Amino acid sequence: MKRRNFIKKSALAASLPFVIEGIPFNQLSAYPALNQLARVSTNDKILVVIQMHGGNDGLNTVIPYDRYAEYYNLRPNIAIPNTGGRKYLEMDRLKQLALHPDMQGFIELYDNARLGIIQNVGYANMNGSHFKGRAIWFGGGGATDRVTSGWMGRYLKLAYEEGGNTFPDDFPNEIMPDPLGLEFGNEVSLGFHTEDTIPAAISIDSPEGFFNLIEGLEGYNEEEDIDKIGIPPTALQNSLYKQEMDWILGLERDTTQYAERLAQVYNQATQQEFVTYPTEYPLTAPNNVLRNPISGALRIIARLVEGGCQTKIYLVRIGGFDTHVEQVESYDNTLGIHAALLYHVSAAMKAFQDDLKARGVEDRVLTCTLSEFGRRAASNGSYGSDHGTVAPMFLMGPYKAGVFGENAKLDALQRGNLPDGQEDLIDYRDVFSDILVNWFGLEAARIPDVFVDYDYNPNSILTSIEDVQSTRFNLRACYPNPVRNETTFSFYMDKPAHVKLGLYDLKGNLVKVLMNQVKGFGEYQVRADLSDLKSGTYIYSIEAGYLKDSKKLVKV
Reported as a single tens digit per residue, the pLDDT across 330-350 is 999 999 999 999 999 999 999
Q: What is the pLDDT of residue 546?
A: 86
All residues at 6 or more sequence positions from 175 whose CB lies less than 8 Å from its CB, including other chains: 38, 39, 40, 167
Listed in sequence order, the DSSP H helices in 413-494 are 428-438, 447-450, 468-472
Half-sphere CA count of 221, side-chain side, radius 13 A: 12
The helix/strand count (H/E) of the chain reads as 12, 20
In 141-217, beta strands by DSSP E: 181-184
* Cβ atoms 47, 300 nearer than 8 A: no
Look at 44-53, 357-366, 433-442, 463-472 and tell me which has the smallest mean pLDDT: 463-472
Q: Which is higher by pLDDT, 159 or 131?
A: 131
Share of the chain residues as helix, strand and coil, in percent rounded to the nearest 5:
30, 25, 45
Of 26-35, 67-76, 509-518, the poorest mean pLDDT is in: 26-35
Residues 6+ apart with CB under 8 A from 16: 9, 24, 26, 186, 201, 202, 203
> pLDDT higher for 232 or 274?
274
Peptide bond between residue 482 and the one before it cis (omega within 30 degrees of 0): yes
Tell me what the pLDDT averaged over the chain comes to. 81
Q: What is the DSSP string of 50-118?
A: EEETT---GGGTEEEGGGHHHHHHH-TTTPPPSSSTT--EEEETTTTEEE-TT-HHHHHHHHTT-EEEE
Under 8 Å between Cβ of 7 and 217: no
The average pLDDT across 350-367 equals: 97
- pLDDT at position 238 is 56
d(CA 311, CA 154): 15
- Beta bridge pairs of residue 489: 526
Gap between the Cα atoms of 300 and 319, Å rounded: 19
Beta bridge partners of 201: 15
The confidence band for 163, taking pLDDT boundaries of 50, 70 and 90, is very low
Which of 357, 355, 260, 271 has its CA nearest to residue 307?
Answer: 271
pLDDT at 342: 98
Q: Is 87:324 a contact under the CB 8 Å cutoff?
A: no
Q: Which amino acid is at 544?
A: A
Q: Where in the chain is the domain with CATH 2.60.40.3880?
A: 471-555
Q: 54 or 452: whose pLDDT is higher?
A: 54
- Under 8 Å between Cβ of 436 and 447: yes
Of the candidates 244, 237, 165, the one whose C-alpha atom is nearest the C-alpha of residue 198 is 244
Rounded Cα–Cα distance for residues 21 and 24 (Å): 8
More confident residue, 175 or 111: 111
| 471-555 topology per CATH | Immunoglobulin-like (2.60.40)
pLDDT at position 465, please?
59
Model confidence at 228: pLDDT above 60: no
Q: Say what angle helices 337-358 and 295-307 make with each other, to 10 degrees.
A: 20
- Report phi then psi at 291, rounded to 5: -85, 140
Per-residue buried b or exposed e for 178-196, using 16+ beta carbons within 10 Å of the residue's own CB: bbbbbbbbeebbbbbbbee
Rg (CA), the chain: 27
What is the pLDDT, as a whole number, of residue 310? 86
